Amino acid sequence: MNLNQILGVLFVVLLAFSGMALPASAAADDCGALSDLLGDCDDANDDGLFNAIKAGVSGLIDRATYSVAGGTDTTAQEQADKVQATFNADSAQIANYSDKRITPTDDYDVIRLEFVDDSGDKASKYLVTTIDANNSISNVEMVDSTDQSIDAYLSIEGYAFEQSETELDRFITNYVDEDKTPQKSYLINKAAKFDGDISGTLLRELSG
């Protein structure tokens, strides 16, 4: 699984690592799977082949279930508003969490998130990160509009659209609030669940 695949399916991680994203130098016991993929860490966050396989199978089952059952009637605007409320309720914690794990760059401090529902209707939010003079993340917020230049965009549809607020809330509870870095099995599970549901210029630019 390459970096482009990881970034292409992990909407939650893209939010949590807003102000994307050069991996920070981090302790080996908490370097995280994303940094590990970039070769900056050892395998401390690799929780083993068995867990990786189990997580991948679980993700595929979830996606297959969604493919059969279909989505809900949630509109693009409703889902975008829910994601925004969940993100902003914990934005200070997310900023602190992200600042410990990445070296922020103003190349990606304004990202447009485009939510696409099953009817094809779209709603946009803007993820705006403020980087202070010490090159630290001082604030991150999801807003309805901005007069700043947009650095990149992501389009979120399908199963990732349906699960975006739920996954974000779980990520905040299980990782941000606990100050824990996801292990590889977590990333593999999300890759299997949301593969192909996220696209946009941010992914193309980061993948070179």
Question: Of the given ranges (17-26, 99-108, 169-178, 191-200), which has the lowest mean pLDDT?
Answer: 17-26
pLDDT above 80: residue 124? yes
pLDDT tens, 32-73?
434 433 334 445 667 777 777 787 788 778 888 877 777 788
CA distances, 112 to each of 2, 27, 115, 124, 144 (Å): 24, 32, 10, 7, 10
Q: How is residue 164 written in tokens?
A: 């975006």
pLDDT tens, 69-97?
777 889 999 999 999 999 999 989 888 88
Residue 139, phi then psi, degrees to nearest 5: -165, 145
pLDDT above 80: residue 6? no
pLDDT above 50: residue 127? yes
pLDDT attached to residue 20: 34
Place of tokens 């991150």: 140
Q: How many Å apart are CA 194 and CA 208, to the nearest integer?
A: 21
pLDDT above 80: residue 162? yes
DSSP string, 149-176: PP-EEEEE-HHHHHHHHHHHHHHIIIII
pLDDT attached to residue 131: 82
What mean pLDDT value characterizes the chain?
A: 74
Q: Are 78 and 116 in contact (CB under 8 A)?
A: no
2 Cα distance to chain centroid = 16
CA distances, 99 to each of 27, 46, 90, 137, 172 (Å): 14, 22, 14, 6, 15
